[in-house]
Structure 1
Amino acid sequence: MKQLFYIFLFVSISHLSQAQSVFTIRGTVKDTTQLAVIGAAVKLSTATDSVLTSTNVDGSFSFSNIRASEFTITVNSLGYQSKSKKYSFKAGVRTETLAPIILTSDSRMLNEIVVNGTPDVTVKEDTLQYRADAYKLKENALAEDLLKKLPGLEVDKDGNVTAQGKTITKIRINGKDFFGGDVKTATQQLPADVIKNVQVIDDYGDQANITGVKDGEADKILNFTIKPEANKGFLTRGVIGGGTNERYQASAFTASFNNSQQLALLLNFNNTNANVFSLTGGGGRRGYSGGSGGDGLTNVNSVGFNYRDEWGEKITAYGSYSFNNRDNYTNSSNLQEILTADNTFYNNNFNDVDAKSNGHRLDFNFEYKIDTLNYLKIRPTFNYDNSNSETFTNFDINTQKTTSIGNSKEMVDYTRPNFGADILYNHRFGAKARNLTFDVELNSTSTDQNQNYLYRSDDNSLSGQIETYQKQLIFGDNKNNNVEARVSYQEPLTDTKNLEFSYRYGFARTDNNRRVESTDVEGDAPALDPLQSNQYQFDYITNRFGLNYRVNEKKYNYSVGFSAQPSVLRSNTTATDKKETNFFPSARFSYKFSKTRELSFNYYGRSNQPGYEQLQPITDQSNKNFYVTGNPDLSPEFSNSIRLRYANFDFESQNVLFANISYSDTKNKIVTNTISFPVATDSTILRENRYLNADGYYSLNGFYAFSKPFKEKTYVLRFRGNAIYNNNISFIDYKKNTGKNLILSQRVGVQVNLGEWLEFEPEATYTYSKNDNTLNVRANTEVNSVGFNVRTKVYFLKTWIVGGNLDKTFNSGYGNIGTNPLIINGFLEKQFLKGKKASFKLQAFDILDQSTSLSYLATGNTTTLSQSNRLSRYFMMSFTFNFSRFAGNSTMPDNLGDGGGYRRRH
């Protein structure tokens, strides 16, 4: 095998070394702030001929089939001074990569220009770009307000952002993480008028960005590019307010921009459920939430600092530190239906939870451009979380034969430090497409947890339930250490074709030490329970070998590949290692009809290891009503995923359409096996969850978003819909149950912007969810939800604003906890100072006092209906200020005109 590899590599390199008479020139065009210049006209002239092209969304351009060894490049772009430069080929060079061409702004041009020939939306494979100034916004608007205008993007009541139906996990500014990529920090603090473009990116990681070879599922992230004139200056904004029910808020954000240097500080103190530094965002449940800010009542204290600068010409450093303190109280009801072969458990829990946490997060990045051929990036990270919570639960568990009523109290305290580092090195062998890349990720996490659990059930002579008492002290020390090393080599075959050879090594070790002390007699001291205590260690080791072939033409690109991954799952409780070999075919195809319309296809495979809770060979009895037993013989899962995506922006009609459909199936899916058996001492039915591997799980997901503007975006009609079908697999007393879960959702809304005095956005949503089970039809459910939402703002007397939103939901199928809340919020705002940079605002939240959270979840053989409290009616008076000064403009009060209306355009 090695001999064949070396022969193939030798033939490929020999092919490239042959003398050629045809040349390829590649380059990039940037401005003085190192941002890409998009759509610049690039002309290559020789003694006998000339050819013209334009830069893409990365500012890149290329010329092929050039036969002259000397040529001149001329670049023209509106708003920049023209630039020309002569070049010549070196002897024996077939592909020449030019140094970046830097354009200087033309001082004769106005600062803000809308070019009619520039599309609002451009599409390029994994990047969707919106031109920010194509969307009308009021003065002092934030990035979040801009995102709400963009077709295909949504911002929910809690500030979470989704793009084309998928949650945004990270935000960058000018291509670099801002406050660690935290979504809400950027969207709720950054002024919209400094943003030039908004890019929605499918991010496959740093190594993929360098090599161009994508592997696995991408994260959906946002990148804000800043206007050149806003890269030098500062901004400060703050809010302070107080209200009824002792509500308060105080926040301040200040940022300084000096070209490559960025400094930012954020402070936030409130008890209005306004969270920041929340990287995860979003949620997995389907349902309705009235109000905002998450479940329960939360006090938040946060501070964060962000830094970015260039240390000389070769090193860029950027990173952030944040501290977050939260105190949350939640009151909730969870009604569960759990299937057995011939019965249904109704598990009703009523919970009071008081949780406090402190979190520190530090991440930093060093990018070292050693020279034109070598690049190094080092990213150390550190996180530390400390949390303690107290949960009191009243439960009512019913079957056709028995009833169990009681309560439990649980106190948990844990600390979780996490250390990590990512080291990436890339070497380019002269030609741009020939790369050797090394990437190593290290991560170490430990969790030290103490749990005090007290359980009581009452005497019930009718059902045979006797009084039960249990007290447990649970001490857990869990450590996870992970190492992943990747090597990738790309060999160009032609100007547009290359081969990639890759190898990936993964090592993951989990070491779990669990000690349980318990007693069933009230008043006795807990003693060691050896059946629940254990020390368990397992390793998961993988070696993955891959070969990819990639073609990148002007109109289309595609790649096909194949990987083989032998894996070993080794534990200290099994006599033999569990070995498997998985094969990963992969394929990607993208066809670009134009710069605003594209079709793409993606297939990939991946494996997932079991968690230590699923593997450890003990029975966890911390929940007296529901035991859990691990299975050390589990195999890793293997999933296949397919996605087809279409994006189109019609330049003439301004219609925007995004659509995608995805399918995935999982071999050796880790599923639950719920067994039930009577306790010998009474007629109580005990339930226990066990784990096993099974085939048959698959999921199908479709999504579309369509928007159509009228009268130059005075009216914008927006449609959004999705359909999800999950074929869930579970076992009940070792009998296979298939849970067929269907979710359909359709939304229609209109954005109305009548001149400068009215913003009006009505919206209607319908959601249907159905769950069918093959073993027990009594647990089949059908849920409907119809919602209406209206947001409005009225601007009058130049400096006054009145507005609010109305949210009404009609639910059916939610059983005893069904609710149809009507949520009304309103405000009255008075702006003052030149430029309206300060204001007083009177706000009313949940005027009818109906705020609640309602959700429905179907997994395996269990359906759960949940309801919890949310922040309800209160009134608040607040003061807001917003000042900034940039090289191209100033919004300081002493330098402003009368302002008002929309941002001026020329």
Structure 2
Amino acid sequence: MKKFSLIMVLLVGISCIELNAQSQVQKSTVFGILKDNSDGLPLVGATVLMVNVKDSARSKYSVADAEGKFQLNEVEQAFYKVRISYVGYKTFTKIIRITLAETDLGLIKLEPDVASLKEVIVKGDVIAVQQLGDTTQYNALAYKTNPDASAKDLVSKMPGIVVSSEGVTANGESVEQVLLDGKRFFGQDPLLSLNTIPADIVDKIQVYDEESDQARLAGFDDGNTTKTMNVVTKEDKRNGQFGKLYAGYGENGLYKAGATLNFFDGDQRITFLGMSNNINQQNFGSEDLIGVSAGGGRGGARRGGDQTFITGTQDGITSTHSSGVNFSDELSAKTTFEGSYFFNNSINNNDALLNRETFLSNGSQFYSEEQQTTTNNTNHRLNLRLNHEINENNSLLLRSAISYQDNESSETTFGQTLNDEEEPINETSNSYNSFNNSLNFSNNLIFQHKFEKVGRTVSLDLNTKYQPTTRESLFEDLVLDSLIDYKTEEYELSTGATVTYTEPVGLTGQVAASYTFNNSVRNIETETFFLEENASAKVFSNELSNTIESVYQTHLPGINYSNNKYGNIFDVGLSYQYAALKNSNLLSLTNERSNQAFGNFLPSLLTRFQLGEEGNFFLRYAATTTVPSASQLQTVVDNSNPLFLSAGNPNLDLSYNHNLDFRLQKNYFDINATLSNRTSIKTSNNYIGNSTAIIEEDSVTAGGVVLTKGAQITSPTNFDGYWSVRNNTSYGVPISPIKNNLNLSAGLGYVNLPGLTNGVSNTAETYSADLKVGLVSNISENIDYNVYYQVAGSRVLNSLQSKTNNQYYTQTVGSTVNLIFPKGFVFRNEASYQKYTGINNSFDTKYTLWNMGLAKKFLKDDRGELELSVFDLLGQNQSFNQEVTSQYLEESQTQVLQRYFMLTFTYQLRNFR
């Protein structure tokens, strides 16, 4: 309470100072809209600078948003020189006098500066990176790509941006959504979006933290941001049709086929896509695979917690069939609509090997496993967004998302556990078949009202989430000769509301008061039956069945003060969260019930300082809580793998987290270089980790659950002492003499992870470091290559047994080459050598993956291409993974595609007007 009182005193003091200044100086709000003179599209990220004619120190700065709108608050009434600039456009300059409380500059159209663009291209002196407020803007002209490249290929050349099969990161943070000219593009699926957009239509790439819709409408930063990448298209590529069609066939029935078609007509954008192949090419994100727990089966040692349909795009051999459509348009001057639909079906076959060493107080035990899995997953996903300005003071925003997922999987598993002397302790041989489906619906409605006083607003945010899930599985244990049928019905219904009121304070300050209420009801009904021979009769198992009802309710009042002066932002806030969690086991003989209440203060701090036009420094602190899920609180035993059982813990407490984030972005325009650094620190009280008990002798519980010697039972437990620190640094600079871009990135990490094994605590300290050096060509569109070296290492120290300490590292050296020769001949080459060192080295952990292709372009403007390619020329492709926790270390290897040849025809569609 003392801290709370001190903060309130400071806020009141600041408010009084600001109000005193306000009484002496008249203020105004200046706003307007920036658009392209030729096609009327908004100029996202254009900079607006207002310099006081008499005192240049009293200047205002703003950046146009996704709709081209800009607003400068608390502008003193005086004469100003307005300067509006955007790369590739003529600078707009005008002297204005501010005399009114509100000054509308109206619609300002900037004209393309074609002459200066040509001059820049000739001189080869293109500005590669700019810092526009909190937006990092990359100029596509500074990065040369081949004519057939996608936006994914383009951004992978840019410093600080890393593209992998798992997603896109910018300065160490995951990019959560990609916009196209400020509009949503296929929901929140960055890889799908970037693969769909051709590189030759891209003008700029902008990376920034997008505020939440409620914060944007209220003009107040609530700390809820989404890492966003906005793709700005070239002005002459915004009207027309473009895309790609391809089909290929190879040996052993391997094939690929697909199409991407875009129809752009000003504000109206329509994109169609389709794909079918059986060579592991997947263009969907993780959101299309999750939602049905345990969908991938539970036979393996890794099946202990929440699971996803498929563990990763590189595991096994996958056949994929997908299609989608994206639509956006301005339905009227006040209404915009964005929507997308996506469908995919994937069939995955995987043979996997796994070795795990579990740490004990007096030694270790070793588990090995062989598993064969077949999974058929189908997903439908629909996203809708409607933005309507009722009038100049009222607006309405509606967002809806619906997805339906259906999954069938079957697996067979053989596993064996050995002791230190390599003597068998136990073994399992089982089969597992599951059928799962899930519907996920979420809806969000925001209403905002602006009062006559500038900066005074009120908004209401209503949200609903509904997710029913059905799971049925049949488990056969060939060792114990048992057959078990599991049926689970689960649903979650969540409703909430947030009211926010903002009030201007002084010349540059603002106060926001908010209240959030949320109520979440989750019901899990699990029925377990032991089947007699030939499934002629079912015997209900009370110990393995339960009906859990969990009600979680939160109240969150809060207050924030924010000050935005000359682009420098300071925001401090304090909320109080009261949470009540009611958990009931309705099927329990003792009718188990638990009621828990939590009360916590949640402070927050955010500040951003502009380092001139060359960069900025950002700091954010936030306290958060993590509430145990209904499944973590249940007591029923999950024995779907008799060697790796799990159960909940009704005594779990909520965890309290501290999150601190530093970011520095610096640009060096004299050498066209960019530097970024990010440090993230997280610590948690009552961290929810795992406690594992090793069964010492064969036994049977009162409910008939067989416990085999050496089997493990894992349950969630609260721990103190969790720490996580991560630093990422990236630097990019052009090497003009050889026309290459040098990209450097490095990372350091530390994790302190507590755990419990047989009642004995073990803390695993993991020190990690990684370095990547890349040399990317910037010579011409006919010569495109990327050479890189990457090394990553970790050292793990265990408090339980020092002899189990480990250190391991991975090395990768590789290159990609695309060369276009005269008469349309093309050579493509991609090779990488990977080596894993450390841990047990149970597998052959070094291999070379070499892909090569020869192609000939033909037809008008070389739109057609015929390519003969080979995948894995040396036949060495592998998939290998290592994992270390406070309780075990593990190596796994999965099935992959190996050498095949394929002949592919591709046609590039380009028709702009």
TM-score (normalizing by structure 1):
0.88
Unaligned runs of 5+ in 1: 286-291, 458-467, 888-906
Q: Does 1:646 align with 2:664?
A: yes
Q: Does 1:141 align with 2:149?
A: yes
1:223-266 deviation digits (Å, cap 9, x = unpaired): 11222322221113111111112111111111111111111111
Q: Does 1:516 align with 2:528?
A: yes
Q: Does 1:673 align with 2:685?
A: no
Q: Does 1:873 align with 2:893?
A: no
- 2:368: which partner in 1? 348
- 2:497: which partner in 1? 485
- For residues 701 and 38 of structure 1, the distance between their equivalents in structure 2, rounded to whole angstroms, comes to 30
1:486-517 deviation digits (Å, cap 9, x = unpaired): 22222111231111112111212110000000
- 1:773: which partner in 2? 798
Letter in 1 for 2:378: N
Q: Does 1:630 align with 2:648?
A: yes
- For residues 49 and 705 of structure 1, the distance between their equivalents in structure 2, rounded to whole angstroms, comes to 34
- 2:886: which partner in 1? 860
1:14-72 deviation digits (Å, cap 9, x = unpaired): 9799585454534443335341265667678999999998764646464866445x999
Match of 1:840 among 856, 861, 866: 866
- For residues 113 and 660 of structure 2, the distance between their equivalents in structure 1, rounded to whole angstroms, comes to 50
- For residues 37 and 416 of structure 1, the distance between their equivalents in structure 2, rounded to whole angstroms, comes to 38
- 1:236: which partner in 2? 243
Q: Does 1:30 align with 2:45?
A: no
Match of 2:566 among 554, 557, 574: 554
1:570-609 deviation digits (Å, cap 9, x = unpaired): 1124555211111111111111112232111111111111
Match of 1:606 among 600, 616, 624: 624
- For residues 759 and 46 of structure 1, the distance between their equivalents in structure 2, rounded to whole angstroms, comes to 49
- 1:463: which partner in 2? none
- 2:604: which partner in 1? 586
Q: Does 1:295 align with 2:299?
A: no
1:49 to 1:796, Cα distance in 2 relative to 1, 3 A? closer
- 1:505: which partner in 2? 517
1:434–1:489 contact (8 Å) kept in structure 2? yes
Letter in 1 for 2:155: L
Q: Which moved more, 1:176-185 or 1:822-831?
A: 176-185
- 1:412: which partner in 2? 434
- For residues 339 and 413 of structure 1, the distance between their equivalents in structure 2, rounded to whole angstroms, comes to 35
1:336-391 deviation digits (Å, cap 9, x = unpaired): 22223334232212111100011111111110011222221101221110110001
- For residues 58 and 755 of structure 2, the distance between their equivalents in structure 1, rounded to whole angstroms, comes to 63
Q: Does 1:621 align with 2:647?
A: no
Q: What is the root-mean-square deviation in Å for CA atoms of aligned residues?
A: 3.4
1:741 to 1:751, Cα distance in 2 relative to 1, 3 A? same
1:126 to 1:521, Cα distance in 2 relative to 1, 3 A? farther
TM-superposed deviation, 1:469: 2.4
- 1:896: which partner in 2? none
- 1:153: which partner in 2? 161
Match of 2:400 among 360, 363, 380: 380
1:410–1:453 contact (8 Å) kept in structure 2? yes
- For residues 567 and 25 of structure 2, the distance between their equivalents in structure 1, rounded to whole angstroms, comes to 25
- 1:694: which partner in 2? 719
2:798–2:886 contact (8 Å) kept in structure 1? no
- For residues 885 and 462 of structure 2, the distance between their equivalents in structure 1, rounded to whole angstroms, comes to 36
Unaligned runs of 5+ in 2: 2-7, 291-301, 303-311, 586-591, 701-706
Q: Does 1:227 align with 2:246?
A: no
TM-superposed deviation, 1:145: 1.7
TM-superposed deviation, 1:215: 4.7
- 2:444: which partner in 1? 422
- 2:732: which partner in 1? 707
- For residues 870 and 247 of structure 2, the distance between their equivalents in structure 1, rounded to whole angstroms, comes to 16
1:56 to 1:293, Cα distance in 2 relative to 1, 3 A? same
Query: For residues 309-328 of structure 1, what are the structure 2 equivalents within 5 Å?
Result: 309-328=329-348
1:416–1:447 contact (8 Å) kept in structure 2? yes
- 2:757: which partner in 1? 732
Q: Does 1:825 align with 2:851?
A: yes
2:425–2:710 contact (8 Å) kept in structure 1? no
- 2:743: which partner in 1? 718
TM-superposed deviation, 1:76: 7.7
- 2:830: which partner in 1? 805
1:269-326 deviation digits (Å, cap 9, x = unpaired): 111111123255999x9xxxxxx95221111111101111111111101101111111
Match of 1:783 among 798, 803, 808: 808
- For residues 817 and 394 of structure 1, the distance between their equivalents in structure 2, rounded to whole angstroms, comes to 18
- For residues 433 and 338 of structure 1, the distance between their equivalents in structure 2, rounded to whole angstroms, comes to 59
- 2:507: which partner in 1? 495
- For residues 231 and 707 of structure 1, the distance between their equivalents in structure 2, rounded to whole angstroms, comes to 30
1:523 to 1:321, Cα distance in 2 relative to 1, 3 A? closer
- 1:748: which partner in 2? 773
- 1:900: which partner in 2? none
- 2:349: which partner in 1? 329
Match of 1:129 among 127, 137, 140: 137
Letter in 1 for 2:802: V
Match of 1:663 among 645, 669, 681: 681
2:853–2:867 contact (8 Å) kept in structure 1? yes
Q: Secondary structure at the match of 2:214?
A: helix
1:119-162 deviation digits (Å, cap 9, x = unpaired): 42223454321111221223232211211211111222x37322
1:469–1:520 contact (8 Å) kept in structure 2? no
TM-superposed deviation, 1:864: 1.9
Q: Secondary structure at the match of 1:149?
A: coil
Letter in 2 for 1:613: S
1:648-698 deviation digits (Å, cap 9, x = unpaired): 110001222111111101111112111123224898234211222111111
2:61–2:566 contact (8 Å) kept in structure 1? no
1:754 to 1:8, Cα distance in 2 relative to 1, 3 A? closer
Q: Does 1:98 align with 2:110?
A: no
Aligned residues: 862
Q: Secondary structure at the match of 2:338?
A: strand
Q: Secondary structure at the match of 1:614?
A: helix
1:552 to 1:685, Cα distance in 2 relative to 1, 3 A? same
1:344–1:778 contact (8 Å) kept in structure 2? no
- For residues 74 and 588 of structure 1, the distance between their equivalents in structure 2, rounded to whole angstroms, comes to 28
Letter in 1 for 2:231: F
1:372 to 1:71, Cα distance in 2 relative to 1, 3 A? farther
- For residues 843 and 719 of structure 1, the distance between their equivalents in structure 2, rounded to whole angstroms, comes to 31
TM-superposed deviation, 1:13: 12
1:816 to 1:21, Cα distance in 2 relative to 1, 3 A? closer
- 2:410: which partner in 1? 390
Q: Secondary structure at the match of 2:276?
A: strand
- For residues 303 and 480 of structure 1, the distance between their equivalents in structure 2, rounded to whole angstroms, comes to 29
Q: Which moved more, 1:609-618 or 1:25-34?
A: 25-34
Query: For residues 43-192 of structure 1, what are the structure 2 equivalents within 5 Å?
Result: 56=63, 58=65, 60=70, 62=72, 66-67=76-77, 79=89, 89-90=99-100, 93=101, 96-98=102-104, 100-103=106-109, 105=111, 114=120, 119-124=127-132, 126-156=134-164, 158=165, 160-192=167-199
1:67 to 1:536, Cα distance in 2 relative to 1, 3 A? closer
2:145–2:154 contact (8 Å) kept in structure 1? yes
Q: Does 1:210 align with 2:222?
A: no
1:244 to 1:351, Cα distance in 2 relative to 1, 3 A? same
Q: Secondary structure at the match of 2:862?
A: coil
TM-superposed deviation, 1:195: 1.6
- For residues 169 and 7 of structure 1, the distance between their equivalents in structure 2, rounded to whole angstroms, comes to 37
Q: Does 1:442 align with 2:489?
A: no
Q: Secondary structure at the match of 1:817?
A: coil
- For residues 443 and 789 of structure 2, the distance between their equivalents in structure 1, rounded to whole angstroms, comes to 46
Letter in 1 for 2:552: Y
TM-superposed deviation, 1:877: 0.8
2:145–2:781 contact (8 Å) kept in structure 1? no
